[in-house]
Structure 1
Amino acid sequence: MPTVPHILLLAPLLSIAAGAFAHAAPEEGPLQVVQVKASATAYDPRRDDTAAKIVVTHDEIVKQGDTSIGDVLKRLPGITIGGVPGRGGDIKMRGMGSGYTQILLNGDPAPPGFSLDGLAPDLIERIEIMRAASAEYSTQAIAGTINIVLRRAVVAAQRELKTTLQSEHGRPGGNANFSVSDKAGNLSYAVVSGLAWSTQDRPATGFTTFSDPAGAPLGRRDQASFMRGTYQGVNLAPRVNLTLGPDDSLAWQSFLAANEYGGPATERSITTLGAPPAFSSAVTSLAQRTVLARSDLTWTHKMADGARFDAKAGVSTGTRRVEREAFEYDRAATLALERRTTSRPRDQGVSASVKYATPVFGKHALTAGWDGAWSARTEHRIERDIAAGDPPANLNLAFDASVVRLALFAQDEWTISKQWSAYLGLRWEGVRTRSSGVENTSAVWSPLLQTLYKLPGSKQDQVRLALSRTYKAPFTNELLPRRLRAIENSATTPDEQGNPRLRPELAWGLDLAFEHYLQGGGLLSASAYLRRIEDNARNNIFLIDGLWVSMPINTGKAQAHGIELEAKFALKSVFKAAPAIDLRANLARNWSRLDTLPGPNNRLVSQTPVSANLGVDYKMDRLPLTLGASYSYQNGGPVRFSLNEFDYSTPKRLLDLYALARISPKVQLRLSVANALHQSYMTALTWVDADGARADATITPTAPVLRAALELKL
């Protein structure tokens, strides 16, 4: 006889199947995989789950003393961070960012405006890395999924305080993190909070060159810029668990983040050859304030025979205010343009999900459910230009956008034999986007297969295979036909405009892995992947009414493939007389090719071809001291963006060091150096056409970050 949970599960499924979303578009979903294992004490999710995942625990996350989650992720196999070394940037799996890598927060799509850079590692319970898609989560994950799970486990009453002071370029900064948790009868709670502030010097130099079709120089400009920024941020993650009875429980979890960043900047250009630009120097200022909040309530009901029902509802809101002033001067140091811009975006959203899981026939674990969300963004952008000799020009842009997404999923984890298990899943996702009268809808069916086979006669060796259908939906701002104007319009600094006709990218994927487990938790693994992408989207530059405009378009098919190698083990597992040294290393090699763009270097935008990490931790026997070091490498090189546009970036090398002294069981002192190599980073963008070539290069120096942290258990 159907129970209330069954009715709650089936009612939306039946009404949706009737066709409310005949054409809908793709997006994201949440939740976590139910596993039925014989021995909970020996359970290792990476080793035992049929649906492959890498789980990074809280202890591993905080081991190095990092203050940003990007510093944690850069050491993990197959993950790279874009941008200037040591400063955070686009997070990539398989070298692919820009929406190919899905970021989840507690299993749900991260809210608009959310930045991992503002998330303190102490707030995180674990990080789950899923190279292949699963039905419970959104399949908007061509490269893979990174799920950030906030602190939730309450084992016993505890209070912890961590304070850190740092220095970069001689500029001070610091952060403080406080966590408290306790139990009282059927109620348990945990609150983790973080404060951060920093002052930053950001110098850079660069040059712009012009040449004719034969390569003869026509012009050169040298630039120098300097920005002094100040960052302040706070985040809070409370969680309350309430046991209602032997079969029912409620969990409330929220996340609040508020930060502001800003400061003055100067830029000067000196023309050494050719005609000078319209603006030779500039003084600008930036002030940005962001507030994000999210809250979720989950009801869990346990049923007979191991079945389980979960219902979840959440709300989110976010506001941001960006104020920018730019004063542009000509070669004679006369004010030629004053531009003031104010932007006020606001995001709101609600979400809900239902999941029902039950074991059947002894060897099957069936799960089915649905999840959906509505989100809306409104933005008012005011731009006022005052140019010498011209009346003031005002540009007021107001737009609103809404996104409705819905997903249905079902999966079966089947234990075929003691050595062989399989995961079968099917997910339908639909998304409808409306913005300023423009509507975009699409839908994706995603069949999924993952299988795990433990080789006969060995308890250490196993192989994995996964087949998946995934996609990448356009970002909302990529669909909006509004135009953002550049101060100096050129082929390398164009205006930006969205494309309401942009379609999702669809991909078929194949993943294969071999894993060999060592005593003491060690691991040797090798994996390979292949992605075949349809309707690949990339920004192209067009000359429209005499102005250069960058616009995303679908360009055709693309292919990406690569290999990843990983090793981690304690040296004692190899040599019993060795000191207490833990070693870890990983290497990734990625290739990609666009069918519609001639080579060489016609790979996916900003894909990292090679990345590698090497780390060591040494826990001394006679002293309460642990020393550690990690080295990260990402190569760059040339990339062809389009028929006329080329990019280049230098390789990135990062060395981090730390020393952890245990003064007492409740007191620890940590000293660390991040970005010890303080490598300069260069990028260059070149435009080539029948009239010649223009190249813009930027060289950014970096500095080591010195930190001292005191960690207390109160």
Structure 2
Amino acid sequence: MSLASTQFRLASIPLALMLAYGSSAMAQQTTTEAETKPKQAVPAPVKATTPAAPVAVQKVEISGAKGYDERRQDTASKIVVTQEDIVRYGDTNIGDVLKRLPGVTIGGVQGRGGAIRMRGLGAGYTQIMLNGEPSPPGFSLDSLSPDNIERIEVIRSATAELSTQSIAGAINIVLKKAIVTAQRELKLGGSEENGRYGGNVSLQLSDKIGKISYSISGNLLHGDFQRPSVSDEVFTNNKGVITLARQTKTESNGAFSSVGISPRVNWMLENGDILTSQSFLNANRFNSRNLSDTTTLIGERPLFLTENAKTVSDSTSLRTNLTWAHKLADSAKLDVRFGANYNKRESENNSNAQGVSQTLARSYNSASTDNGFTYGGKYTAPFVENHALVAGWDGGFSKRGEDNVRRDAIVGIGPITPYNTNENFDAKVNRVALFVQDEWNYSKALSIYAGLRWEGIDTTSKGNTYAEINNRSSVLSPILQTLYKIPGSKNDQIRFGLTRTYKAPDTGNLIPRRFLSTNNSATSPDNMGNPNLKPELAWGIDTGFEHYLSDGGILSVNFFLRRIDDFTRTSIVNDGRWVAMPTNDGLANTRGVEFDAKFPLRTLIDDAPAIDFRANLAFNSSTVNSVPGPNNRLDAQTPVSANFGMDYKLDDVPLTLGGNLSFQSAGPVRISVNQSSYGIPKRVVDVYALWKFDAKTNLRVALGNALHQDNVSSSTYTDATGSLVRTNKTPTNVAVRVNFEYKF
């Protein structure tokens, strides 16, 4: 190792200790199907000089390609988190796993899941994928058990093969696949939070019979919860006098249950073709009871002083995929896939609200289905030396139907009148895409990826309360990425990417249906869709520097920039009632820098304890041109996020200890001329202990959200008459989890 490299390495270690990183696995992968790829960046063409080499590499990929470091060698920028890191803290919620990953943050209350964000951007800018395909309508990540996941891929820059609906990036969740050796693993777990208990069971079965290999993953989860919260509403007039002050206390308790199974079968045919079947079935039940009591300290009392609401919802989701991989002449390959999905949700809400002069009894029943299919394929031609050429198609169809029945029964005389509805609608979405990409290994130091993807979406909806609407859009996305390995150094390399991405309007945001709030106000408005929404289009630049350590560690820094046209924000208007509606509103720019690191302490000290450090740190900022400053940032963007974690494997006893500190800043955001929001920073500490009785038996104990910090946020509406501020405070609690793991 050169003196310059050694100096850089030692100088970088103190910086890495200051960073905060939430995932120890940094392997990178550029495929959507590990068993049947080749990837966009096929290792074989890099080294191959004869047609036979790619065939050998394909065989290695089917069994896992353990010797290949995707993050280091692939041109496309991606981080892969392994199953070991996914289950490290015994999480039962995918959001708790994702919050520790580089550049990923979770909205909402700590420990309860929420919108998944990359680069600090809110929901919709981050593409969530399941086995390389966009997650189907109606699908919830909360229905997935971490035990059923093989790996999580964090994709920083778009590729033509995957959907370019990823302005911030994409997260691909890959379910467990079949393996070549028999495995049996049973996990039993229990949890406690705020005096309420839960349990979970998961079973993994894998084996091989002749040319058929299979795996079956099943899980069962149940938990109870009790979650109080307090909301304060204060109006200050234009003279600075408080004329309204109310406080609403809410007690929420309930239970949730989930059962899921994920079978997978690989069949190696006589001619070398591979058939793969992957399915996922999940059923969920959620019930809750919310009791709200409003006290008026100053000013007029609201229409309803108390509300007692009970909700029961059931959901079922099924997704199945069939993939055929066919080998062609000259090491070419054809992959064809077809999938179908079914989602059904039924919910029933019954509430009783007591007003000053009236009592309202309301029932609201809803039933919805999201069904559809997907299709796609790709032709891979690795026979051109130093090139990996891929061309393919991708598409899908989905149909959503929903029926809603609302009935009001009012006792007393007052301003409230019954509002009875019987609404139904359906929406159809057609999506089709064509793509071509090539990775060219120009030299040992430089590789270039170029791709082009065209994607079109056609949405049609009609209902008994609105006329038929149609929304059609298409985007042409050129993509360029490069990887340059600095000459004279085996450990340093530079990445650069130029991408065209977009965010299509969510189907629900296109439907002009109105959802009424109980106590309507500027900070608690009705909600309504906008059928005229256009997609947000973005040009993006990504660049980064990576320094690899000899012991497998890494220090890296990445920069990004996005220019977003037809930015969508939520506007609030008053047409007799306050109503919120999404609308396209001009130009937005966002930028940021991300640091991440991973290294063992023995990098510094040869005889140091077996301690591994993980860290990441991200700074994000943005401006919305149509909104006056200051703080005219993208709504819900996280300015600063950080993770710092470590694992300590004791030498004398079979015990591993670890912990992670997660930080997300918030602060003020100017959403529009009249709207603003505010949030306090969130700090979360998770710790775990893993005791290995033997090679087959483990006991894992974890504490989640050990700081149990209160979650506080507020929203403000200001006009010529004054300002209305609603502040929400939600206490959180420590979650204790114990898991027993046994392989047999």
Any conservation in 1 of the 2:410–2:418 contact (CA below 8 Å)? yes
After superposition, where does 1:387-536 map in structure 2 within 5 Å? 387-389=410-412, 392-436=418-462, 437-536=468-567
Matched, 1:140 2:165: yes
Any conservation in 2 of the 1:30–1:109 contact (CA below 8 Å)? no
C-alpha distance in 1 between matches for 2:418 and 2:526: 20
Matched, 1:367 2:390: yes
Aligned-partner residue type, residue 543 of structure 2:
L
How far 1:41 sits from its partner (Å)? 5.2
SS at match of 2:586: strand
How far 1:387 sits from its partner (Å)? 2.1
Gaps of 5+ in 2: 1-30, 48-56, 58-64, 463-467
After superposition, where does 1:80-91 map in structure 2 within 5 Å? 80-91=105-116
Matched, 1:164 2:216: no
Any conservation in 2 of the 1:190–1:238 contact (CA below 8 Å)? yes
How far 1:394 sits from its partner (Å)? 1.5
The 1:186/1:486 distance shift into structure 2, 3 A limit, reads same
Aligned-partner residue type, residue 170 of structure 1:
G
How far 1:678 sits from its partner (Å)? 0.4
Q: Deviations over 1:131-172 (max 9, x none)?
A: 110000000000000000000141310110011101000101
How far 1:572 sits from its partner (Å)? 1.1
How far 1:493 sits from its partner (Å)? 0.9
Instruction: Tell me the equivalent position of 1:55.
Output: 80
After superposition, where does 1:118-517 map in structure 2 within 5 Å? 118-331=143-356, 336-389=359-412, 392-436=418-462, 437-517=468-548
C-alpha distance in 2 between matches for 1:376 and 1:568: 45
C-alpha distance in 1 between matches for 2:678 and 2:284: 33
SS at match of 2:392: strand
How far 1:257 sits from its partner (Å)? 1.1
How far 1:388 sits from its partner (Å)? 2.5
How far 1:360 sits from its partner (Å)? 4.0
Q: Deviations over 1:101-155 (max 9, x none)?
A: 0000001110112121221111111111111100000000000000000001413
Candidates 36, 42, 49, aligned match of 2:42: 36
How far 1:335 sits from its partner (Å)? 5.5
Instruction: Tell me the equivalent position of 2:9.
Output: none
C-alpha distance in 1 between matches for 2:724 and 2:66: 62
C-alpha distance in 1 between matches for 2:141 and 2:554: 28
Candidates 695, 700, 716, aligned match of 1:665: 695
How far 1:392 sits from its partner (Å)? 4.8
C-alpha distance in 1 between matches for 2:41 and 2:331: 11
C-alpha distance in 1 between matches for 2:546 and 2:180: 32
Gaps of 5+ in 1: 1-28
Any conservation in 2 of the 1:256–1:294 contact (CA below 8 Å)? yes
So what's the TM-score if we normalise by structure 1? 0.94
Instruction: Tell me the equivalent position of 1:615.
Output: 645
Moved more, 647-656 or 60-69: 60-69
C-alpha distance in 1 between matches for 2:216 and 2:320: 14
Matched, 1:594 2:624: yes
Matched, 1:627 2:642: no
Q: Deviations over 1:657-694 (max 9, x none)?
A: 10000112211111110000000011111111011111
Q: Deviations over 1:634-675 (max 9, x none)?
A: 011111111111111111100001000011221111111000
Q: Deviations over 1:10-42 (max 9, x none)?
A: xxxxxxxxxxxxxxxxxxx97663433248553
Moved more, 517-526 or 34-43: 34-43
Any conservation in 1 of the 2:358–2:412 contact (CA below 8 Å)? no
Instruction: Tell me the equivalent position of 2:582.
Output: 552
C-alpha distance in 2 between matches for 1:419 and 1:121: 38
SS at match of 1:275: coil
Any conservation in 1 of the 2:178–2:264 contact (CA below 8 Å)? no
Any conservation in 1 of the 2:119–2:168 contact (CA below 8 Å)? yes
Any conservation in 2 of the 1:640–1:647 contact (CA below 8 Å)? yes
Aligned-partner residue type, residue 386 of structure 1:
A
Instruction: Tell me the equivalent position of 2:54.
Output: none
Aligned-partner residue type, residue 426 of structure 1:
L
C-alpha distance in 2 between matches for 1:484 and 1:42: 54
C-alpha distance in 1 between matches for 2:120 and 2:640: 8
How far 1:215 sits from its partner (Å)? 1.9
How far 1:583 sits from its partner (Å)? 0.2
SS at match of 2:382: strand
Instruction: Tell me the equivalent position of 1:707.
Output: 737
Instruction: Tell me the equivalent position of 1:15.
Output: none
Identical positions, percent: 49
Any conservation in 1 of the 2:479–2:499 contact (CA below 8 Å)? yes
